[in-house]
Chains A and B, each alone.
Chain A
Amino acid sequence: MDSHSSARDALAYELGNMFTARLGLEELIPLVISKCREVLDASGVSVLLLDEERDELYFPYVSEENPEVAERLSGFRMPASAGLAGAALRVVRRKRWTIRNPILASTPASTKRRKLPRNRCSSLR
Chain B
Amino acid sequence: MAGDVRLGVIEAVNPRERACFSEDDLALLKKLAISIAIAIQNARQFREIKDSAQQLQAQVSILRRDLLRRDRFTEMIAVSTAMSEVFRLMEAAALSTIPVLIEGETGTGKELVARGIHRASSRADAPFVAINCAALPEALLESELFGHRRGAFTGAIEDQTGLFRAAKGGVIFLDEIGEMPLAMQAKLLRVIQENEVTSIGETRPSKVDVRVISATNRDLKDALATRAFRPDLYYRLAAFPIRLPPLRERREDIPFLVARFLEQACERHNKKLGGFHPSAIELLGRAKWPGNVRELQNEIGRAVALAREGETLTTAHLSLSQTLSAEPAVHSDGIPSRHAQCGERESQSPASLGRASSLDSAAGSKTSLQEAREAYEAQYISQVLAEHDGNVSHAAAALRLSRVALQKKMKRYGLR
Co-assembled chains A and B: yes
Interface set of A (CB-CB < 8 Å, partner B): 4-5, 8-9, 11-12, 15-17, 19-20, 22-25, 28, 32, 35-37, 39-50, 52, 57, 84-85, 88-89, 92-93, 96-100, 102, 104-109, 111, 123
Is the beta-carbon distance between B43 and A22 smaller than 8 angstroms?
yes
Complex Cα distance A32/B32, Å? 9
9 contacts between A and B (CB under 8 A): A9-B31, A15-B35, A39-B28, A40-B12, A45-B12, A50-B6, A85-B9, A89-B6, A102-B29
Given contacts A36-B32, A40-B29, contact A47 B1 (CB under 8 A): no
Extra A-B contacts (12), CB below 8 Å, given A40-B12, A42-B15, A50-B8:
A8-B24, A12-B31, A20-B35, A36-B12, A41-B15, A46-B10, A47-B9, A49-B40, A50-B7, A104-B26, A108-B13, A111-B13
Main secondary structure of the interface of B (DSSP, over half): helix
A28 adjacent to B39 (CB under 8 Å)? yes
Chain B residues with CB under 8 Å of chain A are 1, 4, 6-17, 20-21, 24-40, 42-44, 46-47
Instruction: Find out whether the CB atom of B47 lies under 8 angstroms from the CB atom of A25.
Output: yes
Flag if A102 contacts B32 (CB, 8 Å): no
B35: chain A residues at CB < 8 Å are: 12, 15-17, 19-20
Provide the residues of chain A in CB contact with B1, threshold 8 Å. 92, 96-99
Give how many A-B residue pairs fall within 8 Å (CB-CB). 144
Once A19-B35, A42-B15, A43-B14 are accepted as A-B contacts, the answer to whether A99 and B40 lie under 8 Å apart by CB is no
The reply to whether A99 and B9 contact each other, CB–CB distance below 8 Å, is no
Report the minimum CB–CB distance from B237 to chain A (whole Å): 48
Q: Which residues of A contact B25 (CB under 8 A)?
A: 40
Once the chains bind, are A47 and B12 in contact (CB under 8 Å)?
A: no
Residues of A within 8 A of B11 (CB): 44-48, 84-85, 88
Q: Are A102 and B30 in contact (CB under 8 A)?
A: yes
Among A16, A17, A98, A111, contact of B31 (Cβ-Cβ < 8 Å): A16
Are B43 and A41 interface neighbours, CB within 8 A?
no
- Residues of chain B with a CB closer than 8 A to A23's CB: 42-43, 46
User: A-B pairs with the 8 shortest C-beta distances?
Assistant: A16-B35, A49-B8, A12-B31, A43-B14, A19-B39, A85-B9, A44-B13, A23-B46
Question: Bound state CA distance, A40 and B29, in angstroms?
Answer: 8
Q: How far is the CA of A91 from the CA of B192 in the complex (A)?
A: 71
How near does chain B come to A125, taking the closest CB pair, in angstroms?
10
